[in-house]
């Protein structure tokens, strides 16, 4: 990709996403450390309690880890999380991290909604985050990839300039919608809840190996790491996150922008799809 490079000659970029999620009253995550299922229809009180760890403790442990390692992340927060834990949202912004929308509640899917319902959820979610933080988010990621053919145009109309729901690209790309363009950032392929039935060390090993591969084999690689506050904010995964961030920051030619900073860089390049340019130069 002649003429295209990360700022200041950096070899690889690393994005860090933190998810602060909550489920509607009476709802709980579809995943949980329990190994014996409850009877069908039973109210999962333990699962609901487990999901609240993120706002009560997990986000704070992650914020301390980021502070120790000098890394700035982007926090994708449900509006419900901001309503339940506004002090956490304020702490995110005070620490210099980005804040982006993530729907109202984690169990509510945009693809199940009418156009008007989607539009209302998007705008209300951004309103709640702005009220809690003092700044209006301009980025978004959908709960459980629940977008449809209308979603991205609705995001543009709500003032969102980027999303992180791209599953078909390794670098940012410009996405055209009937309402105007939006920058599509690639999401990560392996988040912390993938190790729920295995070893937390898998989280470390997957990201370290991916980083090492990109660093060695693909100049201008992009690694996107994501961690959930209610799971990755627990010591068993936070310990692996701490090791990873210390490893990444030990390299002098690694760029670790917030998502909005990566979007600013991308727009300044005035190219729709650097992914295509990389393929052409392979």
Give the pLDDT of residue 91.
98
Q: Which fold does the domain 7-25+45-281 belong to in CATH?
A: TIM Barrel (3.20.20)
Q: Once rounded to an integer, what is the mean pLDDT over residues 54-67?
A: 98
pTM > 0.85: yes
Give the pLDDT of residue 100.
98
Residue 125 and residue 22 in contact, taking contact as beta carbons nearer than 8 Å:
no
181 has a pLDDT exceeding 80: yes
CA nearest 171: which of 111, 122, 221?
221
192 has a pLDDT exceeding 70: yes
What mean pLDDT is reported for the chain?
A: 95
Give the pLDDT of residue 277.
65
Within the chain, residue ranges assigned H as helices are 45-51, 53, 59-69, 79-84, 86-94, 115-133, 151-157, 201-217, 235-249, 259-269, 274-281
DSSP label at residue 35? S
Percent of the chain with pLDDT over 90: 91
Of the pLDDT bands very low, low, confident and very high (cuts 50, 70, 90), residue 88 is very high
Give the pLDDT of residue 275.
82
Give the pLDDT of residue 280.
55
Q: Once rounded to an integer, what is the mean pLDDT over residues 72-97?
A: 98
Give the pLDDT of residue 237.
97
Residue 10 and residue 249 in contact, taking contact as beta carbons nearer than 8 Å:
no
Residue 70 Cα to chain centre, angstroms: 18
Tokens of 63: 């914020």
């Amino acid at each position: 990709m002649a003429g295209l490079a990360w700022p200041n000659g950096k070899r690889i970029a690393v994005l860090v996403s933190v998810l602060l999620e909550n489920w509607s009253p009476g709802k709980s995550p579809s995943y949980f450390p329990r190994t014996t299922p409850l009877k069908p229809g039973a109210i999962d009180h333990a699962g609901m309690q487990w999901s609240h760890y993120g706002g009560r403790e997990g986000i704070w442990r992650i914020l301390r880890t980021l502070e120790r390692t000098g890394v700035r992340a982007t926090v994708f927060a449900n509006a419900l999380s901001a309503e339940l834990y506004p002090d956490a949202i304020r702490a995110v912004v005070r620490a210099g991290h980005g804040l982006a929308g993530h729907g109202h509640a984690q169990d509510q899917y945009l693809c199940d909604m009418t156009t008007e319902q989607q539009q209302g959820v998007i705008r209300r979610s951004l309103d709640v985050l702005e009220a809690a933080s003092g700044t209006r988010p301009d980025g978004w990621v959908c709960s459980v990839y629940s977008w449809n053919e209308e979603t991205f145009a609705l995001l543009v109309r709500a003032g969102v300039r980027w999303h992180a729901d791209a599953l078909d690209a390794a670098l940012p790309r410009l996405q055209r919608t009937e309402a105007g363009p939006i920058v599509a950032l690639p999401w990560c392929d392996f988040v912390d809840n993938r190790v729920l039935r295995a070893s937390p060390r898998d989280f470390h090993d997957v990201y370290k190996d991916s980083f090492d591969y990109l660093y060695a084999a693909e100049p201008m690689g992009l690694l996107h790491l994501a961690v959930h506050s209610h799971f990755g904010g627990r010591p068993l995964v936070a310990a692996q996150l701490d090791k990873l961030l210390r490893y990444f920051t030990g390299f002098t030619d690694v760029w670790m922008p917030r998502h909005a900073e990566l979007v600013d860089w991308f727009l300044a390049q005035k190219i729709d799809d650097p992914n295509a340019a990389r393929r052409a130069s392979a």
